[in-house]
Amino acid sequence: MGSKILKGKAVHIAMGKYVAAICYRFFRFLKYVPVILPILIALCGCGAILETGPEVSGAQKENPNFEVVPVVSDILPMVPEITETAEPVEKPVAEKTYAESMLESMSIEEKIGQLFIYALQNEGYEFTDGMARGLTRYKPAGVILFSEKVGTSGQVIKLIEELKRHSKIPLFVSTDEEGGRVSRVGKLFEMPIGPAGETKSAEEAFGRGAEIGRRLLSLGFNMDLAPVADINSNPQNTVIGDRAFSASADKAAEYVSAFINGMHSEGVLSVIKHFPGHGDTVEDSHQGAAVFKYGKDRLFSSELKPFIKGIEAGADAVMVGHISAPNITGDSLPATFSPVMVTQILRGELGYDGLVITDAMNMGAVTNYYGPGEAAILALEAGVDIILMPADMEIAYEAVMGAYKQGRLSEGRINESVLRALKVKEKLAGPEMR
């Protein structure tokens, strides 16, 4: 009987050792659960894990051969939370505009050329080799034609077609067509258009703008240096007079706005002039310095009203006159060269960020005091975008190129003006723009 008991104990001992060995290996396996479990969770997409595992008794803790294995609840904090994350959505890249793409493709020589509009004069009615060389050499923003280039309608049409064809970059083809005494192509049409000062209503001003626009477009012009936004407020002023719509600032403003809308209805660009107002000067800036003798309050309450309305109507450019305003700027600089007038007042206080063009730079108010090169640079430094009719195109172009190379004019500054010009050209309809 005793032997049977001993034999039974031996079996139990053997079985205990066998079970202990299995348990030992099992717990050794659990040691790797922290490594394996996150992988299984990721593969299986398991959303929850049940807490499990034996409690460790005091005796087991005292056993030096017993390995304490963390339960699953202890492991869970080590498992990274798996959440669904949306793939990042790439923001669509804005497509570049015609103007931006054109600017990027241009050389510095082409960009500097876009800062000029020059006159075609004294070369007869037909397109000449000299004109072709000028377009190739300077790559200008545009050209301006005067009555000496106007023979017949057919001749003007052919000339403009050739000008556009020889220009790689779309060309402003401009003229001064105000009606009345400033009319470059009026002789080609049966019915003359009278001076702006005869206008009696906004409807009439609209019709006037539309008719002039229609005539110019039929010949191939795409820009008119009109309307006059000055006020006929000084009887001693001989240069403006009835070129202005009215002696009343409010009426002049209303008619300027209507004229622009009429011209736009025919697809022709309009340029309002002569900022900040040439109506209340005695002097003629064609001959010499012209002075606006009043202060800023008067300027804003009167002279600037038609310009503000013209800008609101969508004028495509503002022409700055060679008019000094010492009681506003504190110096004798013509507005053309005045950062106060162009950058501070026109761009800053009036909020105008469009194209700014000088009045003709071969006028006495400029040539009597400045050389063609320095005049072009000063205008650009003041914030102007396009130099109109420099007294010497070659000297002016080379001076601006020199100012760029010497760091006086940065390419960034040049780009600002060129982009403004290209944005205006972008408005024009027709195959030459695409």
Residue 426: Cβ within 10 Å count:
15
- Kindly give, in sequence order, each residue whose CB lies less than 8 Å from that of residue 105, ignoring residues fewer than 6 positions away: none
Which CATH code of 3.90.226.10, 3.20.20.70, 3.20.20.300, 3.40.190.80 fits the domain covering 98-433? 3.20.20.300
Burial class (CB in 10 A: 0-12, 13-18, 19+), 32: exposed
CA 39 vs CA 32, 76, 125, 134, 301: distances in Å: 12, 13, 86, 75, 78
- Residue 12 known to be catalytic: no
CA 31 vs CA 26, 27, 69, 148, 272: distances in Å: 9, 6, 6, 101, 86
Contact 258, 209 (CB under 8 A): yes
Confidence (pLDDT) at 311: 98
Candidates 259, 187, 188; CA nearest to 224 is: 259
As given in the structure block, the two tokens for residue 111 are 């960009």
Given a cut of 80, whether residue 27 has pLDDT beyond it is: no
Confidence (pLDDT) at 91: 66
As given in the structure block, the two tokens for residue 340 are 């106060």
Given a cut of 90, whether residue 429 has pLDDT beyond it is: no
State how far the Cα of 3 lies from the Cα of 221, in Å rounded to an integer.
129
Output 67 or 253, whichever has higher pLDDT: 253
Confidence (pLDDT) at 402: 98
Given a cut of 90, whether residue 302 has pLDDT beyond it is: yes
- Mean pLDDT (the chain) is 84
Report H helices in 140-242: 153-165, 202-219
Confidence (pLDDT) at 287: 78
- Kindly give, in sequence order, each residue whose CB lies less than 8 Å from that of residue 378, ignoring residues fewer than 6 positions away: 336, 337, 370
Candidates 250, 271, 257; CA nearest to 208 is: 257
Q: What pLDDT digit, counting tens, does each position of 183-201 carry?
A: 999 888 989 999 999 999 9
Q: Provide the 3-class DSSP secondary structure of residue 275.
A: strand
Confidence (pLDDT) at 59: 46
Q: What pLDDT digit, counting tens, does each position of 121-130 carry?
A: 666 788 999 9
SS3 content of the chain, % helix, strand, coil (to 5): 50, 10, 40
Of these residues, 230, 280, 316, 359, which one is catalytic? 359
Confidence (pLDDT) at 387: 98
Identify the top-confidence range among 48-52, 166-170, 207-211. Answer: 207-211
Q: What percent of the chain is predicted at pLDDT more than 90?
A: 67
Given a cut of 70, whether residue 146 has pLDDT beyond it is: yes
Q: Provide the 3-class DSSP secondary structure of residue 424.
A: helix
- Residue 41: pLDDT band with limits 50, 70, 90: low
Of these residues, 278, 286, 316, 331, which one is catalytic? 286
Candidates 111, 115, 178, 121; CA nearest to 147 is: 121
Q: What pLDDT digit, counting tens, does each position of 205-240 carry?
A: 999 999 999 999 999 999 999 999 999 999 888 889
Confidence (pLDDT) at 6: 37
Residue with tokens 């929850």: 48
Given a cut of 90, whether residue 10 has pLDDT beyond it is: no
- Kindly give, in sequence order, each residue whose CB lies less than 8 Å from that of residue 29, ignoring residues fewer than 6 positions away: none
- Residue 288: pLDDT band with limits 50, 70, 90: confident
Q: What is the mean pLDDT of residues 351-373?
A: 96
Q: What is the mean pLDDT of residues 372-387?
A: 98
Confidence (pLDDT) at 89: 64
Output 328 or 290, whichever has higher pLDDT: 328
Given a cut of 60, whether residue 102 has pLDDT beyond it is: yes
Torsional sign, CA 121, 122, 125, 130: negative
Contact 150, 173 (CB under 8 A): no
Q: What is the mean pLDDT of residues 132-150?
A: 93
- Residue 278 known to be catalytic: no
pTM over 0.85: no
- Residue 53: pLDDT band with limits 50, 70, 90: very low
Contact 197, 241 (CB under 8 A): yes
Given a cut of 70, whether residue 13 has pLDDT beyond it is: no
Give the residue extent of every domain in the chain: 2-78, 98-433
As given in the structure block, the two tokens for residue 16 are 């205990």
Rounded to 10 degrees, the C-alpha dihedral 107/111/117/120 comes to -10
